[in-house]
Chains A and B, each alone.
Chain A
């Protein structure tokens, strides 16, 4: 089980991008590729080859679940584990996420200090049933 190193983060809000990047790089020591435009996200993922993808739920144009479905349709991103970050956490949405096969869910507002640890915990919980 390799350690978590590369994360692709898709988020339209610049301020949140900056905070998450700082938290993951400075506190978590991770390599982060932040994508502001969900339309180019799959291309960027193919190029960056992340271990884990973090998607914002609400984005203008293409929202998180839509992007997630597109990733599942693309052979190069089909296998990537996805963690959603959402401000709304209704039971219905949680069920929807599980049905989509999301690896995890973090609620907004998250604590940047704890974010790397939370992502690693999800990553490690996936370890048992991952082929690589």
Chain B
């Protein structure tokens, strides 16, 4: 199913375990590098400003050239640090190489700190108080400013600050003025305090990092969850729409269907009734809703049978089709309906409801009855005059009443033959009508088919002789017992044998074989006729079909014989068919189950 597939696709890759230390350390380093390098531009600007101010402040002293030289080196170092920052920003893999970038930054910090330390050591050479004050301010400024720059790493700050303060402290300690010597421990103390602040800031940075990280993780999970939720909502909306659409379609089908449709609960109560059902039984929908259909629509006499069928349906959970029941309408009129019941079974195999489709077949049955009555009457009305016509002609042709002229004999023979054809047609029509309306009763009895075959051959020899065709049993006929209706089986055999004779060339032999094939007996009639044309093969067993209608006139026959044979054979539990015969001609066969 589509939605399941999508759902499994949307499952995120497993999130990194919370205690994935190396990864966290790498992320921490990368974050630290990013933090440090983000402060670098401000540091560089501050350095350049300080260098320029220093040159300006100290240009009049007796160390002007030393200051110039220092500033050149200081600008070069600053430029290198700027390039370092630029390279860092350009590096796509900077997060993976964060440690190296931090090392380079530390080197830069050391170099920059050393430069400021060198500048501070000029303090002892200068004579001017203002210049002294300036140096002290620069010293304090770079130490305090460094804290902001290197807050992400207290160790880099320590590396940076040490070369700033150490030469100056040494200078103070060894100075000839006692005040300065006494003052000297204050500088390293100040440095230590600054490192302490940097350390605290570093801790803050770390907890900030962890908070950011947790937040990022949460955020990522939230985003994934959100996306998944969105997708599921979308799918749900789509499914909902599909269900709604098919529901609408179904409702439309049911509402507009000319067939009455009920949805019934397992206790047989109407859950839903369509307009056709209301119209068919003459009830308003609300009179049917919630009521047991068996009580409402069936007479008390029919109810036990109806309920038995219902129980079968619930037990077998299989559809029941074309169940005919006479039902009183609300207005008291009886109608005959054909019910098709289809259980709706859930995944647990329980019947949740039953769809009943009901078709009114009253008129259809009435039409069938009228047709039968008509056929029956017609056959009688036709047969009575035919009896007189054929009887009279047969008497004349028998010669029992004296002989007529050859022309008269010829004409009465034509009249008799055609009268007989008419009779055959009526008989065939009646048979077919009986078979198709289910009125043809077969009385099955166990008998030897070979004896029946011999009888059929004897009966039809005279007929075959008219076409100069000989009928014979080929080989030994097996003597298996089959269950057939004697009269009907003889009719089928006569039909097949006389057909074979009619369509055989003069002088040919029609052979009949009978052999066992496992649990079946195969009876086959083989002719040497022209065979059955390809275009006609599918219609051989349908009514009024002869391959060539001109043959109907030439050979007689109604085109109903094989249609009747097929239905009769099927009524007796057999199968009929035909094959091309090797060497020309056709074999018609009948398979019948052996009597157990």
Contact = CB atoms under 8 A, between A and B. Distances in A.
A13 B388 contact: yes
Interface in B432-486: 439, 441, 443
Contacts of B390: 109, 111
Q: Is the interface of A mostly helix, strand, loop or mixed?
A: loop
Contacts of A108: 383-384, 387
A26 B387 contact: no
Interface stretch (A14-22, A45-53, A66-74): A14-22
Given A22-B395, A22-B401, A23-B391, A109 B386 contact: yes
Contacts of A27: 395, 398, 400
A25 B376 CA distance: 33
A110 B388 contact: no
B23 interface: no
Interface string B371-390: 00000100110011011101
B395 A109 contact: no
Nearest to A15: B388
B394 interface: yes
A58 interface: yes
A98 interface: no
B380 A109 contact: no
Interface size range on A against B: 20 to 34
Nearest to A57: B380
A26 B400 CA distance: 6
Interface in B338-393: 376, 379-380, 383-384, 386-388, 390-392
Interface in A77-95: 87-88, 90-91
A13 B394 contact: no
Contact of A109 (B423, B441, B443): B423
Nearest to B390: A109
Given A87-B383, A91-B441, A108-B383, A19 B401 contact: no
Given A58-B380, A87-B380, A88-B380, A113 B398 contact: yes
Interface size range on B against A: 20 to 34
B383 A109 contact: yes
A48 to B, nearest CB: 23
A65 interface: no
Contacts of A16: 384, 387-388, 391
Contacts, number: 59
Nearest to A88: B380
Interface in A103-122: 108-113
A112 B380 contact: no
A32 to B, nearest CB: 14
Interface string B413-439: 000000000010000000000000001
Given A15-B388, A19-B388, A113 B441 contact: no
A110 B388 CA distance: 9
Given A26-B400, A91-B441, A109-B423, A19 B391 contact: yes
Contact of B387 (A87, A88, A90, A91): A87
Contacts of B398: 27, 112-113
A112 B384 CA distance: 14
Looking at A87, A90, A110, which has the most chain B CB atoms within 10 Å of its CB? A87
A88 B376 contact: yes
Given A23-B395, A58-B380, A109 B400 contact: no
Given A16-B388, A26-B400, A109-B423, A87 B395 contact: no
Contacts of A15: 388, 392
A109 B383 CA distance: 6
Contacts of B388: 13, 15-16, 19
B401 A87 contact: no
Given A26-B400, A27-B398, A27-B400, A87 B391 contact: no
B384 A87 contact: yes
B92 to A, nearest CB: 100
A11 to B, nearest CB: 10
A110 B376 contact: no
Looking at B390, B392, B395, which has the most chain A CB atoms within 10 Å of its CB? B395
Contacts of A13: 384, 388
Contacts of B443: 91
A111 B390 CA distance: 8
A113 to B, nearest CB: 5
Nearest to B383: A87
A110 B387 contact: yes
A123 to B, nearest CB: 20
A27 B386 CA distance: 21
Contacts of B439: 90
A26 B401 CA distance: 7
Contacts of B423: 109
Contact of A110 (B384, B391, B401): B391
A26 to B, nearest CB: 5
Nearest to B434: A90
Contacts of A26: 395, 400-401
A90 B400 CA distance: 33
Nearest to B386: A109
Looking at B398, B423, B441, which has the most chain A CB atoms within 10 Å of its CB? B398
A37 to B, nearest CB: 18
Interface in A1-44: 13, 15-16, 19-20, 22-23, 26-27
Nearest to B420: A109
Contacts of A88: 376, 379-380
Nearest to B402: A26
A91 B391 CA distance: 25
Contacts of B387: 16, 87, 108-110
Contacts of B379: 87-88
B375 to A, nearest CB: 11
Contacts of A111: 390-391, 394
Nearest to A107: B383
Contacts of A19: 388, 391-392, 395
A90 B379 CA distance: 13
5 tightest A-B CB contacts, nearest first: A109-B387, A19-B391, A15-B388, A87-B383, A112-B391
Interface of B: 376, 379-380, 383-384, 386-388, 390-392, 394-395, 398, 400-401, 423, 439, 441, 443
14 contacts: A20-B391, A22-B395, A26-B395, A26-B400, A27-B400, A87-B379, A87-B387, A88-B376, A88-B379, A108-B387, A109-B383, A109-B390, A111-B394, A112-B398
Given A108-B384, A110-B391, A113-B394, 4 more contacts: A26-B400, A88-B380, A90-B439, A111-B394
